[in-house]
Amino acid sequence: MNKRAIMVAMTRLFAAAMLTLFGAAPAAAMTVGGAMDGGDVDIWQFECTSSLTHCMHVSVCDQYWGSPDTWEVTIGVYSPTTLLGRGSSASNTYGGGGPYACTPTASVCREPATNHGPMKALVNVNHPFFGGDGFYDLAASCTDVNGYGLPGTSTKLTVKTNQ
């Protein structure tokens, strides 16, 4: 295994531990990797297929923290139609040299607190400031009305555009 592959594997393991410990994304998160240049946007389709889904959560993490970068993540729900247009966003700028850096979690939940059912959204990952690398991890999760993570089999992420 080459050094880059080992670094990517170690970074993802570290990211999973940090996401679990510090709550950047709830448990049972699905994480996918991506890469882009500064100023580009990746768009992902995010689906929570469980009938128990109450909230959708996303966070983006910089895979290589050695250089300054800005990352932004936005979630926009399009199904069910009662939530059409509801969304949330989060961003963060990392100065380099710090720990594995993630945005705060962007979430959309059903109202009132007892409602649940499948949900679909588009997630935009934006990289407006590029300091040397463009590798990221997108963590997405679905939770029930009690805030517990739903099984990973009910969480789907599909890339729609990759610039």
How does pLDDT run across 55-91, given as a tens digit for each residue? 999 999 888 766 777 889 999 999 999 999 999 999 8
* Burial class, 15, CB count within 10 angstroms (exposed 0-12 / middle 13-18 / buried 19+): buried
DSSP string across 16-50: HHHHHHH-SS-SS-EEEEEE--TT-EEEEEEEE--
Closest CA to 124 of 75, 81, 63: 75
Instruction: Give the CA angle between residues 94, 33, 159 to the nearest 5°.
Output: 115
Is the dihedral angle over the CA atoms 16, 18, 21, 24 positive or is it negative? negative
pTM over 0.75: yes
Angle at 119 between CA 113 and CA 25, to 5 degrees: 75
In this predicted structure, what is the pLDDT of residue 99? 54
What pLDDT score does 112 carry? 82
Q: Using one digit for the tens of pLDDT, what is the confidence trace for 47-64?
A: 999 999 999 999 998 887
- Report how many helices (DSSP H) and strands (DSSP E) the chain contains, helices first: 1, 9
CB 74 within 8 A of CB 106: yes
Q: What is the average per-residue pLDDT within 10-35?
A: 56
Structural domains present in the chain = 3-161 (2.60.120.380)
- Confidence grade of residue 100 (pLDDT, cut at 50, 70, 90): low
- All residues at 6 or more sequence positions from 55 whose CB lies less than 8 Å from its CB, including other chains: 107, 108, 109, 110, 142, 143, 147
User: Which letter does DSSP use for residue 149 in this model?
Assistant: B
Written as six digits, the tokens of 49 are 């297929």
Query: Which pLDDT score is estimated for 65?
Result: 65
- What is the predicted pLDDT for the residue at 26? 43
Check residue 109 and give its pLDDT. Answer: 95
Which among 132, 19, 160, 22 is positioned nearest to 67, based on CA atoms?
Answer: 132
